[in-house]
């Protein structure tokens, strides 16, 4: 409770005191008992009540988040300057004060029935540059400029929310949307759209004594027909991407099979080359062995006889002695008996 409220309560109570004193004086007079200085007391109480009421009518307390517009009977009807926060004095019964809040206010226009200031669908219907209809949900955060409170009062009084904020915002949204195509509104140019709307509203608010704190582009919805076409387009794009993926997958599988076949062919070539080189090495070794054997036989002919004996079957029981020996000699040690 501030000082103004206390003074107003005392002013109200003072009239009760006046009536009480008057009633007391009248009752004493009716009983034939005159009250000494009764008139003086009555006049004093009345004067005190008048002073309190005049004081209560002239004292004004402005809250920190407010500015006071003084309406006066003087020329122009209002004071040139608004009352600042705190305790102020105005001419009783000749001036009155209308407080204006300078705190931030929020105004929402939404397609949802219970989200905005207006019950029901209050979204902004706008048309894009290519003729498509979109529904825009938006929120405007604003405040009254403390330096322009008098101007706002003269122009709008307390109707600036519905008479200024709402129509200016809806008009700026429609003007901005008309500069973009429908696919830009919800994709690549959404930020640019929001910035354009913000700048337009800010300029118009400044001309009318308001401060735009923030513009929020909440949502952009489309007509049922366009939404259906967008959905079909997205489905077609997804199918195309899936087909491209399948083609790429088949290409990778074919490439993998080709690489496997190439690897097998390269392995077969390497294996054949290895076998051929092995045969060449083996043939060279056999040739060298035959050469060495021929040289040994040429140097010592008995080597051939020895080789012949080594190749004899274990079942041979006799042998022919070379040179001039005409006899066949038994070989008992080879027979096992």
In the chain, where the domains are located: 3-101, 105-222, 224-299, 302-335
More confident residue, 316 or 292: 292
Q: What are phi and psi of 188, to 5 degrees?
A: -70, -30
Least confident of 71-75, 177-181, 237-241: 237-241
pLDDT at position 336: 45
- 216 pLDDT more than 80: yes
pLDDT at position 318: 56
Q: Contact at 8 Å (CB) between 49 and 22?
A: no
- 203 pLDDT more than 80: yes
pLDDT at position 144: 96
Per-residue b or e along 298-332, where b marks 16 or more CB atoms closer than 10 Å to that residue's CB: eeeeeeeeeeeeeeeeeeeeeeeeeeeeeeeeeee
Rounded Cα–Cα distance for residues 311 and 104 (Å): 120
Mean pLDDT of 22-31: 73
pLDDT grade for 83, boundaries at 50, 70 and 90: very high
pLDDT at position 132: 87
Q: Which H or E run includes 242?
A: helix 224-299
- The residues, ordered by sequence, that sit 6+ positions from 230 with a Cβ below 8 Å of its Cβ are 222
Mean pLDDT of 9-25: 76
Closest by alpha carbon to 181, among 173, 189, 192? 189
Residue range 141-170, pLDDT digits in tens:
999 999 999 999 999 988 999 999 999 999
- The residues, ordered by sequence, that sit 6+ positions from 164 with a Cβ below 8 Å of its Cβ are 156, 208, 210
Q: Give the angle 188-190-195 at the CA atoms, nearest 5°.
A: 125
More confident residue, 331 or 95: 95
Rounded Cα–Cα distance for residues 147 and 202 (Å): 16
Residue 9 structure tokens: 């309560």
Q: Contact at 8 Å (CB) between 319 and 329?
A: yes
- 289 pLDDT more than 90: no
Rounded Cα–Cα distance for residues 174 and 86 (Å): 43
pLDDT at position 287: 80
Mean pLDDT of 82-94: 90
When the candidates are 3.30.365.10, 3.40.50.460, 3.40.50.300, 3.30.479.30, the CATH number that belongs to 105-222 is 3.30.479.30
- 46 pLDDT more than 60: yes
pLDDT at position 49: 80
pLDDT grade for 303, boundaries at 50, 70 and 90: low
Exposed/middle/buried for 258, CB within 10 Å: 0-12, 13-18, 19+? exposed
Closest by alpha carbon to 134, among 218, 226, 230, 222? 222
Rounded Cα–Cα distance for residues 169 and 110 (Å): 13
- In this prediction, what percent of the chain has a pLDDT beyond 70? 81
Helices (H), the chain: 3-30, 38-58, 149-155, 160, 166-177, 182-185, 190-207, 224-299, 302-311, 332-335
Least confident of 7-16, 94-103, 170-179, 278-287: 7-16
Residue 319 structure tokens: 């042998």
pLDDT at position 230: 63
């Amino acid at each position: 409770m501030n000082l103004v409220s206390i003074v107003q309560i005392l002013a109200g109570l003072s009239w009760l005191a006046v009536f009480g004193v008057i009633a007391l004086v009248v009752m004493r007079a009716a009983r034939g008992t005159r009250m000494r200085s009764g008139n003086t007391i009555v006049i004093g109480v009345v004067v005190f009540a008048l002073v309190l009421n005049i004081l209560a009518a002239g004292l004004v307390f402005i809250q920190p988040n407010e500015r006071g517009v003084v309406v006066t009977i003087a020329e122009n009807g209002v004071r040139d300057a608004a009352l600042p926060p705190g305790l102020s004095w105005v001419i009783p019964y000749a001036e009155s004060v209308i407080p204006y809040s300078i705190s931030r206010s929020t105004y929402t226009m939404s397609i949802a029935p219970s989200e905005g200031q207006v019950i029901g669908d209050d979204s902004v219907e706008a048309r894009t540059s290519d003729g498509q209809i979109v529904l825009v949900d938006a929120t405007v955060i604003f405040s009254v400029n403390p330096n322009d409170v008098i101007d706002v009062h003269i122009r709008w009084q307390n109707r600036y929310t519905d008479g200024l904020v709402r129509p200016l915002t809806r008009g700026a949204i429609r003007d901005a949307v008309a500069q973009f195509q429908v696919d830009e509104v919800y994709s690549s140019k959404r930020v640019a759209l929001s910035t354009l709307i913000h700048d337009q509203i800010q300029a118009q608010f400044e001309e009318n004594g308001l401060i735009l704190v923030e513009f929020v582009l909440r949502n952009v919805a489309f007509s049922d027909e366009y939404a259906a076409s967008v959905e079909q387009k997205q489905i077609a794009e997804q199918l195309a991407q899936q087909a491209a993926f399948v083609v790429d997958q088949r290409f990778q599988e074919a490439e993998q099979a080709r690489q496997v076949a190439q690897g097998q062919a390269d392995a077969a070539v390497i294996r054949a080359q290895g076998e051929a080189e092995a045969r060449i090495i083996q043939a060279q070794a056999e040739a060298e062995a035959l050469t060495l054997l021929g040289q040994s036989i040429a140097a010592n002919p008995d080597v051939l006889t020895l080789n012949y004996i080594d190749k004899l079957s274990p079942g041979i029981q006799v042998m022919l002695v070379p040179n001039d020996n005409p006899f066949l000699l038994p070989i008992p040690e080879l027979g096992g008996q």
